[in-house]
Amino acid sequence: MIWLPFVATALFTLSMLQRKQFLRESRLPFSDFFPSLLLLIAGMSLVAAPFDWSVDASRATAPLTILLLVIVSVLGMLWFEHFYRAIREESLSRFDFLAVLDPLVTIAFVSLLFPAERNVHVWAATSVACVALYFGHKNHHAIQFDHGERNLLVGIGLSAVIVAIDRYLLTIYSPLAFNAIYMCGIALLFVLRYGWGSLQAGYRLFLPLTLTAALIVANTILFFYSYRELGVTVTTLVALLQPVAIGFIAYFIYKEPVKPKLLLAGVVVLLAVLYAVLRVSTR
């Protein structure tokens, strides 16, 4: 199962790029397509759920579990909003620079809450990778907390809390079962918040919305399986490869300027990730 976080990260990168392209071209208000997108995600998640549906019935009906499901659904809705606004408002190279904070914050928060997630090799590799990415971008960006960056930073904070709750709930639900419940909860909240959106816009954008939904469902399910099999900290560490990949894609596809030293940073990150994954997988 060592391949799980790598494939999940690759799919997340593809889905993020596809969402960036979609948002850049459509320029629609979020209320016009969010409900349609989340309903597609929920539908696909329900279709996939029977292939691995298992639930610890005694714990699933506990008040704490129900409360956490409600909380994680609300936080998930807020994360989608802030994440999409950040994608629309920030350049890819700017986005991936700030996104380096996401794995670092998540690993720190989850390690604090779950002793089983604490691993000196993961922490060492994370520190080396984050330092490499910081110096790979250091002269390229300065942190200025404009509106787009604030959305991303809020999303990073929400992501850490969401992943910690996911980690607990995945001891009660199988990844496919939890994904279906989680996505249906978020879809319901979006419909309650925005209504059904613009049916005309949803129909006109059916194909790109369907592709976006499929990529989101696939990478989310793989991340959940990786959380359960390898742990959150290892999976999140592998996600540090995403900013490197996005940096190169931003340069080669979107023609955004990227410093050559990003190549060296990418090599360092890859070596750090491989070191941690191999050490943890051979324990």
Average pLDDT rounded to a whole number, residues 187-209: 72
- The encoded tokens of residue 121 equal 């090799």
SS3 content of the chain, % helix, strand, coil (to 5): 80, 0, 15
Q: Of the ranges 6-10, 139-143, 154-158, 223-227, which one carries the lowest mean pLDDT score?
A: 139-143
Q: In what helix (H) or strand (E) does residue 175 lie, and over which residues does it extend?
A: helix 175-194
Q: Of the ranges 9-13, 141-145, 227-231, 275-279, which one carries the lowest mean pLDDT score?
A: 141-145
Listed ranges 33-42, 131-140, 178-187; the one with the highest mean pLDDT: 178-187
| Comparison of pLDDT for 145 and 92, the residue scoring more | 92
The 10s digit of each residue's pLDDT in 21-58 is 776 666 666 666 777 788 899 999 999 999 999 999 89
For residue 50, with 0-12 CB atoms within 10 Å meaning exposed, 13-18 middle and 19 or more buried, which class applies? exposed
The 10s digit of each residue's pLDDT in 79-100 is 888 777 766 665 555 555 556 6
Q: How far apart (Å, rounded) are the C-alpha atoms in residues 161 and 246? A: 24
Strand partners, 55: 173
